[in-house]
Amino acid sequence: MAEMKSMMVENRVFNPSPEFVAKARVNSLEQYKEMYKRSVENPNEFWAQMAEENLTWFKKWETVEEYSFTDDIYIRYFAGGKLNVSYNCLDRHLDGPRKNKAAIIWQGEPLEDSKTYTYQQLHNEVCKFANVLKSQGVKRGDRVGIYLPMIPELVIAMLACTRIGAIHCIVFGGFSAEAIRDRMLDAKAEILITNNFGYRSGKFLGSKDVADAAMAQCPDIKKCIVVKRVDKECNMVEGRDVYWDDLMATASNKCEPEAMDSEDPLFILYTSGSTGKPKGAMHTTAGYHLYAMMTVKYFFDIRDEDVYFCTADIGWVTGHSYCVYGPLGLGATSLIFEGVPNYPAPDRFWQIVEKYGVNILYTAPTAIRAMMKDGDQWPKGRDLSSLRLLASVGEPINPEAWMWYYTVIGKEKCPIVDTWWQTETGGHLIAPMPGAHPMKPGSAVNPFFGVVPVLLTAEGKEAGVNEGGHLCMKKPWPGIMRGVYGDPNRFKETYFVQQPGHYFSGDGARKDEDGYYWLLGRVDDVINVSGHRMGTAEVESALVAHATVAEAAVVGFPHDIKGEGIYAYVTLKEGVEGTDELKKELVAHVRKEIGPIASPDKIQFTPGMPKTRSGKIMRRILRKIAAGAVDELGDTSTLADSTVVDNLVANRQ
């Protein structure tokens, strides 16, 4: 494992706007620091207070935090406590003013399809579906597979599982039959919930056919519940498949919530597969739920009257924590969207912001860069004045994209909350406290309460100021995964062996003189040019800062003299031609921004990047192509569009 060096200098600093600070929960650096200090010096007291104030318990816990990051790895929060997640997301909001408040606002892909569920209505549907699950033989501890698009039934199914103590295992609605099969077999699921047909980017999808192909190879799946997203018959297998509506028609809306132990599993979810075969992260009940809620409360500073729009698909952890469990636990209004940012037009997000008066928007750099590429006329044509806070997740946000988000979308009055975290971490670990931290474009800033990051060199020593290191955590936080489902060894080997006694994230970062964290990219993607080790993020950000560049990905390739050379894949903005002149200009630009050591040796223009279904660039594939090893691309099952790869191979430099 390599260390990495940081070379970019980004000096811009932006203070949160006075309007924002005036109302913020945490409104000064002193307050953040005081709370942070308390959370790490006395975690038992801090988390006990948070758990007391924010969750409703059937039985109080006996201990707060217990763990070992060495030898036998274990992590426990609130052991001995009993609670129910659906109760915390629904029931307890019903005896006050939130009863008739929108819990979920659903916007379908077709413009005219939308629906709102109040807390009372959602509670009703969840109780009914919980009874349906029971009627189909699902018991506490059973795994329930869910393969659904972004429709309200997805949220209902999740919460119904939590109500009866079943463990959901959601597979992103755009995945293939093979991806569903692998996850269902791994989770040992005996039931799958899916839909007949769906919409995506204006296309009509046969979701049930995909699910059928998967189930043909999953002999343990005995039942399949089918949501009619569209009023149209699909293939139904006698004895196995039943329509959602038929079961719901006779189900009772009374269902007592199961009293779950704090450490009972809540769900299994697979990572994006950017760096290899996806890992099945297992999250448990109390710590995860509390952590998801606390990060929404503080990092997004959410209010009861807010309309909060997280654009992530619930098939990813961002959707689990930040469309469902975080906001609903707090009694907030969560807007969920079935479609994509550019259909029917490139202003779809902005049309939604305008239609519902969205106050908080949470999206990803991949979407931000794509919308920048489409041009400012799209957001400028919509009323975005309701926006109060903007957030980002998934990849490092390049300073250029950050500036666009801040100025064109946020009109310089919304804080940008860049949230660094992982499927494994359950919730945000590093982000700015929006009413407290001055922001620096491209920096994820500081840890959340109770989180203790450290940057370590390959030898396990603490890295100095601005020196790159492996981003690790010294101790757990309530939302950390408790294991890889059914595989304790993989858990230990993946996260706790490289840097003994620490949770190792796999990412590289540096900490600047103000203690701000800057993510440098994956440690596995480090490029070593003549003994200088570079993360990918900064070289990419330098390229994206050029006026013609929409997106960039850099990787190393074998080089006779330098050991490794830099190979840059570049997607240009609309209407820009990829000439040899422009290549020279881009090389000169990177030399100027960073220095000669970072100049790309090769540049390949490409209309698209190989991305995971969750929108992250898969550099491991780009590295293979750059090295000419096109037959060794590895696990490509989570790739969004395989034709991109053929095109890249054909145009290799």
The CA-atom distances, in angstroms, between 492 and each of 53, 69, 74, 100 are: 33, 9, 10, 46
Which of 84, 118, 272, 606 binds ligand ATP (CB under 6 A)? It is 272
Q: Using the rule CB under 6 A, is 395 a contact of ligand ATP? A: yes
Residue 64: strand, helix, or coil: coil
Q: Using the rule CB under 6 A, is 275 a contact of ligand ATP? A: yes
Q: Using the rule CB under 6 A, is 420 a contact of ligand ATP? A: yes
Full strand arrangement of the beta sheet holding 223-227: 241-243, 223-227, 191-195, 143-146, 167-170, 265-270, 280-284, 483-484
| Amino acid at the residue 178 | E
396 belongs to an annotated ligand binding site: yes
Closest to ligand ATP by CB, 55 or 389: 389
Which of 171, 314, 360, 519 binds ligand ATP (CB under 6 A)? It is 519
377 belongs to an annotated ligand binding site: no
Q: Using the rule CB under 6 A, is 423 a contact of ligand ATP? A: yes
Question: What binding mask, one character per residue, do residues 260-299 give for Mg ion by CB under 5 A, x or -?
Answer: -----------x----------------------------
399 belongs to an annotated ligand binding site: no
Instruction: Write down the least CB distance from residue 394 to ligand ATP, Å.
Output: 5
Q: β-pairing, 191-195 with 280-284?
A: unpaired
Instruction: Write down the least CB distance from residue 173 to ligand ATP, Å.
Output: 16
Contact 229, 196 (CB under 8 A): yes
| The entry of Mg ion, ligand ATP, none that residue 419 binds, CB within 5 to 8 Å by partner kind | ligand ATP
424 belongs to an annotated ligand binding site: no
Contact 394, 366 (CB under 8 A): yes
Question: What binding mask, one character per residue, do residues 33-72 give for Mg ion by CB under 5 A, x or -?
Answer: ----------------------------------------
Q: Using the rule CB under 6 A, is 443 a contact of ligand ATP? A: no
13: left (phi over 0), alpha (psi -120 to 50) or beta: beta
Helix (H) or strand (E) segment spanning residue 289: helix 286-299
Contact 300, 414 (CB under 8 A): no
Helices of type H across 188-282:
207-215, 244-249
Helix (H) or strand (E) segment spanning residue 389: strand 389-392
| Amino acid at the residue 623 | R
> Tokens 């100021």 identify what position?
465
The window from 73-81, 114-122, 161-169, 416-424 that contacts ligand ATP (CB under 6 A) reads 416-424
Three-class SS string for 283-351? Answer: EECHHHHHHHHHHHHHHCCCCCCCEEEECCCCCCHHHHHHHHHHHHHCCCEEEEECCCCCCCCCCHHHH
The window from 2-10, 152-160, 391-399, 579-587 that contacts ligand ATP (CB under 6 A) reads 391-399
Q: Using the rule CB under 6 A, is 546 a contact of ligand ATP? A: no
Q: Which of 403, 324, 338 is nearest to 365 (CA)?
A: 403
549 belongs to an annotated ligand binding site: yes
271 belongs to an annotated ligand binding site: no
Closest to ligand ATP by CB, 533 or 616: 616
Instruction: Write down the least CB distance from residue 281 to ligand ATP, Å.
Output: 8
Closest to ligand ATP by CB, 226 or 645: 645
* Neighbour-count burial of 238, counting CB atoms closer than 10 A to its CB (0-12 exposed, 13-18 middle, 19+ buried): exposed
Q: Using the rule CB under 6 A, is 313 a contact of ligand ATP? A: no
Contact 336, 330 (CB under 8 A): no
Closest to ligand ATP by CB, 272 or 363: 272
Q: Which of 125, 187, 134, 205 is nearest to 165 (CA)?
A: 134
Closest to ligand ATP by CB, 422 or 571: 422
Q: Using the rule CB under 6 A, is 273 a contact of ligand ATP? A: yes
User: Could you tell me which residues are beta bridge partners of residue 446?
Assistant: 431
The window from 75-83, 164-172, 282-290, 502-510 that contacts ligand ATP (CB under 6 A) reads 502-510
How many C-beta neighbours within 10 Å does residue 547 have?
8
What is the chain's length? 653
Residue 251: strand, helix, or coil: coil
Q: Tokens standing for 426?
A: 């359950």
Q: Using the rule CB under 6 A, is 299 a contact of ligand ATP? A: no
Closest to Mg ion by CB, 39 or 272: 272
**Cα 483 to Cα 139: distance, rounded to the nearest angstrom:** 22
- # residues contacting ligand ATP (CB under 6 A): 26
515 belongs to an annotated ligand binding site: no
Instruction: Write down the least CB distance from residue 340 to ligand ATP, Å.
Output: 18
**Cα 504 to Cα 462: distance, rounded to the nearest angstrom:** 13
Q: Tokens standing for 385?
A: 């004045």
Q: Tokens standing for 595?
A: 């220095």
Q: Using the rule CB under 6 A, is 118 a contact of ligand ATP? A: no
Instruction: Write down the least CB distance from residue 392 to ligand ATP, Å.
Output: 6
| The entry of ligand ATP, Mg ion, none that residue 196 binds, CB within 5 to 8 Å by partner kind | none
Q: Using the rule CB under 6 A, is 614 a contact of ligand ATP? A: yes
Contact 442, 436 (CB under 8 A): no
Closest to ligand ATP by CB, 173 or 394: 394
Q: Residue 396 carries which DSSP code?
A: P
The window from 22-30, 296-304, 503-511, 539-547 that contacts ligand ATP (CB under 6 A) reads 503-511
Instruction: Write down the least CB distance from residue 342 to ligand ATP, Å.
Output: 22
Instruction: Write down the least CB distance from residue 431 to ligand ATP, Å.
Output: 8
**Cα 385 to Cα 629: distance, rounded to the nearest angstrom:** 50
**Cα 291 to Cα 480: distance, rounded to the nearest angstrom:** 9
Contact 431, 362 (CB under 8 A): no
Q: Using the rule CB under 6 A, is 616 a contact of ligand ATP? A: yes
The CA-atom distances, in angstroms, between 294 and each of 226, 290, 450 are: 34, 6, 11
Q: How far is CA 379 from the centre of its chain?
A: 24
| The entry of ligand ATP, Mg ion, none that residue 420 binds, CB within 5 to 8 Å by partner kind | ligand ATP
User: Which residues, 312 to 371, sit near Mg ion by CB under 5 A?
Assistant: none
Instruction: Write down the least CB distance from residue 272 to ligand ATP, Å.
Output: 3
Q: Tokens standing for 338?
A: 């079935």
Q: What is the CA radius of gyration of the chain?
A: 24
| The entry of Mg ion, ligand ATP, none that residue 109 binds, CB within 5 to 8 Å by partner kind | none
Instruction: Write down the least CB distance from residue 276 to Mg ion, Å.
Output: 9
Q: Residue of minimal CB distance from Mg ion?
A: 271
- Write out the binding residues for ATP: 394-396, 418-423, 507, 522, 533
- Write out the binding residues: 318, 342, 394-396, 418-423, 507, 522, 530, 533, 544, 546, 549, 591
- Write out the binding residues for CoA: 318, 342, 530, 591
Residues that bind ligand ATP (CB under 6 A): 271-276, 278-279, 393-396, 418-423, 444, 505-507, 519, 522, 614, 616
Residues that bind Mg ion (CB under 5 A): 271
